[in-house]
Amino acid sequence: MNKQECCKDCQYRMRKTPREAQEKRKMQNRLSRIEGQIKGIMTMLEEDRYCGDILNQVVAAEKGLRAFGSELAKSHFYSCVIPDIAEGSDELANEFIVLFEQLSR
């Protein structure tokens, strides 16, 4: 028996979500923009910029990250949770509820 067969039902297995290249690229671009905003905040801090200006950038970065999380949650729901429910399992649905509550805070 190979490791994949042995661990296919193991809760500690490495889970993956395959994504289309275009979808992955779109997600990476979004994260790159957020990364740029964070680096900009670091630069502003190093340059002793006005607090209000820095806070505006913090708000923009937070909104970007929340939007990314929201899109990822929607994708996860349709690509992972619904198929899992259709197979008769509620494991991912329960996991999604916890994640959704955390995202909503």
The verdict on residue 5 lying in a domain is no
d(CA 22, CA 73): 18
Q: What is the pLDDT along the chain (105 residues), one digit of tens a residue?
A: 333 444 445 554 568 888 899 999 999 999 999 999 999 999 999 999 999 999 999 999 999 999 999 999 999 999 999 998 999 999 999 999 999 899 888
Residue 10 has which token pair?
Answer: 């193991």
43: domain CATH number is: 1.20.58.1000
The verdict on residue 94 lying in a domain is yes
The verdict on residue 8 lying in a domain is no
Q: Please report, as a single letter, which amino acid is at residue 91.
A: E
Provide the domain limits for residue 84. 20-103
Cβ distance 42 to 61 under 8 Å? Answer: no
The verdict on residue 63 lying in a domain is yes
SS3 73: helix
| Structural domain total, the chain | 1
Cβ distance 76 to 59 under 8 Å? Answer: no
The verdict on residue 56 lying in a domain is yes
Its pTM stands at: 0.76
The verdict on residue 9 lying in a domain is no
